[in-house]
Amino acid sequence: MAAPVLHFVVVGHDDHPIFETDLLSKSTDASGREERPQYLYHFVMHAALDAVEEQEWSTNAMHLGVVDRFNNYQVSAFTTAGHMRFLLLHDGRGDEIVKNFFKDVYELYLRVMLNPFFIPTAKITSPLFQQRVKALARQYFR
Amino acid sequence: MQVSLSAFAYLFSELVQYCQSRVSHIGELERRLEEVGYGVGVRLLEVLCFRERGSRREVRLLDMLKFVHSTLWRYLFGRQARDLEQSNTAEDEYMISDYDLFVIKFVSVPKEMGHLNCAAFVAGVVKGVLDGAGFPARVTAHFVTVKDQPKPKTTILMKFDPSVMQREQRMPAS
């Protein structure tokens, strides 16, 4: 049975990630990540961005659902009004759960970006943000 | 939440003077005001879509313009903008006009500064909203004299990127 996968990325306007985290690892440092194929995740998510761009112009909704598949991985996407993309790489979680997860992360993101010192192209480095995103993941994807 | 107009006017005048001390000519001053407004616009776009629109984004040009004309204007000025029109000479140019914007209510422009328009700040806000939503445009503020009116109206001119017009053409007719 394959190991569960849950990887979350926030992508800015120029297709560069401003935040990423593995939602399954308990610690905040990178020690538990070597076994996981990090570069594969980056590749799959980056490739999914094309599909996201197609979808985001065809609907008024923010939640785009599953936009791309790769082997047994699926990529779900969420586009905010300001065209910041939330991508979740997972192995088949329910769409409603993913949608609610995205909505809650969206509220967290709003608080971060309303900060007048936040630049839209800068990485989100707040440890509190990462903590809260992981807590949401534990709540929704337990 | 209500803020006193005089408090805002004082803050805005300090903002203009701050920018003025760092530029060498009027065009640059207007650009600085636009930059300040831009940061506001980008954030307003996200907040207003979340609060007022129930997390609904606009993907069509006309819907986006209506969003600026009503939702954004109502948030900033308490009412919808007066006019929303498309330019007769260019398909990619649109104008939103209004009278008596409180932002520039107490601004008096000396003759040496010619056509300086501090509503460049508002133009910046609109630019931030449009850019953030994926409708890049050049946005500028102009005074337009109106027949039978003592004061000119303020027009926000938006000239959209060719990429926006191309994308609009590719989309199905709404």
Per-position b or e across B52-63, b if 16+ CB within 10 A of its CB: eeebebbbbbee
Contacts of A138 (CB under 8 A, 6+ apart): none
The whole-number average pLDDT for the span B140-151 is 85
> What whole-number distance in Å separates Cα of residue B35 and Cα of residue B124?
6
The whole-number average pLDDT for the span A71-93 is 89
> What whole-number distance in Å separates Cα of residue B58 and Cα of residue B68?
11
Q: ipTM value, please give it.
A: 0.84
Instruction: List the helix and strand counts (H, then E) for chain B.
Output: 6, 4
> What whole-number distance in Å separates Cα of residue B78 and Cα of residue B71?
10
> What whole-number distance in Å separates Cα of residue A31 and Cα of residue A53?
33
pLDDT at A33 over 60: no
> What whole-number distance in Å separates Cα of residue B6 and Cα of residue A125?
38
Pairwise CB contact (< 8 Å): A110 & B46? yes
Pairwise CB contact (< 8 Å): A82 & B47? no
Q: Does A62 reach chain B within 8 Å, measured CB to CB? A: yes
Residue A116: list chain B partners with CB under 8 A: 39
- Count of pairs with CB atoms under 8 A, one residue in A, one in B: 54
Angle between helix axes B120-132 and B26-51 (nearest 10 degrees) is 50
What pLDDT is attached to residue A1? 43
Instruction: List the helix and strand counts (H, then E) for chain A.
Output: 3, 5
Pairwise CB contact (< 8 Å): A60 & B49? no
Counted residue by residue, chain A has a size of 142
The sheet that has B153-160: what strands, in order across it? B83-86, B93-98, B153-160, B137-144
| Chain A 77-136, residues with CB within 8 Å of chain B CB atoms | 79-83, 103, 106-107, 110, 113-114, 116, 120
User: B77: closest CA among B112, B126, B42, B16?
Assistant: B126
The sheet that has A85-90: what strands, in order across it? A17-22, A6-11, A85-90, A73-79, A63-70
> What whole-number distance in Å separates Cα of residue A45 and Cα of residue A55?
15
Q: pLDDT tens across B1-60, in order?
A: 778 888 888 888 898 888 888 888 888 888 999 999 999 999 999 999 998 878 888 889
Pair of tokens at residue B93: 């140019």
User: B129: closest CA among B66, B54, B70, B46?
Assistant: B46
Closest chain B residue to A120 measured between Cα atoms? Answer: B42
Neighbours of B99 (CB within 10 A): 13
What pLDDT is attached to residue A27? 54
Q: Does A32 reach chain B within 8 Å, measured CB to CB? A: no
Q: pLDDT tens across B81-93, in order?
A: 888 999 888 889 9
> What whole-number distance in Å separates Cα of residue A30 and Cα of residue B124?
41
User: A66: closest CA among A58, A78, A84?
Assistant: A78
Pairwise CB contact (< 8 Å): B46 & A120? no
